[in-house]
Amino acid sequence: MSIFRIKGGNKLKGEIIPQGAKNEALQIVSAVLLTDQPVTIHNIPDIRDVNKLIELVGDLGAKVEKLSKDSYRFTAANVNTKFLESDEYRAKAAALRGSVMLLGPILARFGKASLPKPGGDKIGRRRLDTHFIGFQKLGAKFNFDSNNQYFEIDASKLEGTYMLLDEASVTGTANIVMAAVLAKGTTTIYNAACEPYLQQLCSMLNRMGAKITGVGSNLLTIEGVEKLGGTEHTLLPDMIEIGSFIGLAAMTQSEITIKNCRIDMLGIIPEIFRRLGIKMEFRGDDIHIPAQEKYEIESFIDGSILTIADAPWPGFTPDLISIVLVVATQAKGSVLIHQKMFESRLFFVDKLIDMGAQIILCDPHRANVIGLERKQTLRGIKMASPDIRAGVALLIAALSANGVSEISSIDQIDRGYQNIDTRLRALGADIERIP
């Protein structure tokens, strides 16, 4: 298993282009199964989770053409639903959490589907209830084979209905939307997720002939249509990468320009980093972070300690909580980090404490970070990456630390960040991948 060896303390400089959004890619690539017409997608990130899903779509019988390094054309004219019953499908789908996104399109177009219990990160339970309750409300019937850990779903008669989601799940909403676009009648989804990824999916489906209104709000109305046509779509840049690079620049006192950020779709992300004292300037659609010796965490107006918590969009994304926590370790001041959504996502802080950070882990969801104000630099250690986002947070910590760090289990990082070592070396980072 590969490891990253990082010699910290280098100041970085240069420009970096964020990859296409991983979370959007998983939804958009799944949506190609909704039509028999060609769908062209640009800015697809070259990362394991997305590549595996593309492979799975190809295995199902869709024609997959690679047009350039990040553009693909999909034509799902001859889909083999029998493949869903094969052992090969079970093995591949079980290894990939994103495979659950195939359910909505397959149910909508073919009336039945099956799915093994999906895999993914060890960041706490990630319920599939929202997906299944949504399908049930549309008229699907499903069975769970507990012996084989396998879901079987019959959706031969999907009809539109009103539903109030139990949680504003991004993947749950996307899956239900994809099932509802071809259902008979009108579907209304309240407490729908409204993340940019979902807005992108809805806009693409509308270009294909769907009738979705309320895009960008938590109330979606979908009028079912008979069939969908082809389209062309460009993915947003990955806002998690953009946030990671802002954090990286601050931690390593580097001057970095992040190109083509689609700032209009970043929501509150830049503002949260500004509250940590990080200066940045918007230059058209680029974000320039100047080299900063020190940065100071703001307190609330009444003088109380700043709290940063994740929340459904337009709140702060949980995927950047790990990054913010690391960045706060070298700031002046204190901050309470409250990770509400996943109960195991803060378990990586013990590695940061080993590196010399001052963090009080209050419980699985909350950590109080006492900034060191660079009076004490982090030190390099050997550690393992528990999940995608924690992996990159530890990578940022290692790049700012004194001495050499080694990060194992980097396949977790590769699942979400394409060629991250090559791109960081281009900025001047001392990082090597050791097989």
Give the sign of the dihedral formed by CA 252, CA 257, CA 260, CA 262: positive
Cβ within 8 Å of residue 146, ≥6 positions away: none
Q: Report how far residue 103's alpha carbon sits from residue 106's, in angstroms, rounded to the nearest whole number.
A: 5
Look at strands 38-42 and 231-234 and give their pairing. parallel
Q: Which position has the token pair 């979370």? A: 23
Beta bridge partners, 13, equal 255
The conformational region for residue 39 under phi > 0 = left, psi -120 to 50 = alpha, else beta, is: beta
Please give the Cα distance from 393 to 267 (Å, whole number): 21
Who contacts 273 (Cβ-Cβ below 8 Å, separation ≥6)?
Answer: 243, 246, 247, 250, 280, 324, 327
Torsion of CA 124, 129, 131, 136, to 10 degrees: 170
At residue 276, what is the residue type? L
The C-alpha atoms of residue 379 and residue 25 are separated, in whole angstroms, by 36
Report residue 430 CA to chain centroid gap: 27
Is the Cβ–Cβ distance between 416 and 97 less than 8 Å?
A: no
- Helices 388-400 and 321-328 sit at what angle, rounded to 10 degrees? 20
Q: Shortest CA distance to 84 belongs to which of 112, 124, 52, 64?
A: 112
As annotated, the active-site residues are 121
